[in-house]
Structure 1
């Protein structure tokens, strides 16, 4: 007998965790802009980072990978990344040029992914460097906010933030180039296959 596909393959724990992470974006923004609750915002960052790690682990080890999850997980990551850096810049904590670089990179990833899906009807699976980039950004957010809350000297804090964010940005650019190479290869294979079938 041919096994049937689950009727609701979207109803998985990883997808639920991704939805939770999207909800936490709103809560982070609310608590971050209140100085009395910024420690809560820090806790939200930590919880979000843990859910991101956990949903990937569960999806891979318990066969709960779904088409929705392939879109929802990176969407939640990008939403959290963009929301966090914008909040940091609006509060004057992070220079806008750093936020601008991150926004441009994420927009290229988003529109590039949509273009690729339209061209080849495919989604690039998560790669190790993509997940490492996400971990680096979450670690950067957490450490930056933690050091800010410690009220350390401003010039020391500035150096720490610059080092953390520049490291994360450099790795994210490497990730972007790697994904572009994969996208070009997928598009080329699709074009070649189309010619062969004619």
Structure 2
């Protein structure tokens, strides 16, 4: 019987896990390049490389049948670390207003408090809302463009406009999907008794 879910093993040394570990090592390097060196093109390259390897590790896990329990934990952890590091770094550099950072990080903090609703009822967390994936994609696309919008090159103004447009759209949809997740958790809390 096929469930469609990849079989997760206890393997540690897999190609996707190595990519996730490289991405994890890239987080402090990204912050150093962004905040200390202020080398925006290098920071841009690290962000883009992180996005590509994030996509690649998921593809390779399925293609090579190398899904693992470690990868299932490591990949989303590294995603969150990159997101938070980028947001905080951008606020420190003045590329992002602090209140946008509060909205983006606050949304995830609030949603973390909904997880016990599911755990206390022996239910899995809710399925990912496709619109939330789109919002995350918009935000992850916005950050590199905002960054190169600060660099000295002929396309800086267009890159900045493109980046901030994606940032606004992504933030609005990200917050909206957060509200939808909270609504789902409230509905579960009302309808399903605690076990």
TM-score normalised to the size of structure 2? 0.75
Partner Cα separation in structure 2 for residue 25 and residue 185 of structure 1: 37
Asked whether the 8 Å contact 1:70–1:125 carries over to 2, the reply is no
Q: CA deviation at 1:6?
A: 7.7
Aligned mate of 1:53, from 40, 55, 63: 55
* SS of alignment partner, residue 170 of structure 1: helix
Determine the structure 2 residue equivalent to 1:176. Answer: 178
RMSD over aligned Cα atoms? 3.4
Asked whether the 8 Å contact 2:44–2:147 carries over to 1, the reply is yes
Q: Would you tell me which structure has more helix in proportion to its own residues?
A: 1
Aligned pairs (5 A) from 1:64-103? 64-103=66-105
1:156/1:57 CA distance change after superposition, 3 Å: closer
1:160/1:105 CA distance change after superposition, 3 Å: same
Asked whether the 8 Å contact 1:18–1:72 carries over to 2, the reply is yes
* SS of alignment partner, residue 72 of structure 1: helix
Q: CA deviation at 1:171?
A: 2.3
Partner Cα separation in structure 1 for residue 60 and residue 190 of structure 2: 33
1:188/1:51 CA distance change after superposition, 3 Å: farther
Query: How many residues were matched structurally?
Result: 189
Moved more, 10-19 or 100-109: 10-19
Moved more, 183-192 or 82-91: 183-192
* SS of alignment partner, residue 9 of structure 1: coil
Determine the structure 2 residue equivalent to 1:135. Answer: 137
1:171/1:64 CA distance change after superposition, 3 Å: farther
Unaligned runs of 5+ in 2: 1-6
TM-score normalised to the size of structure 1? 0.74
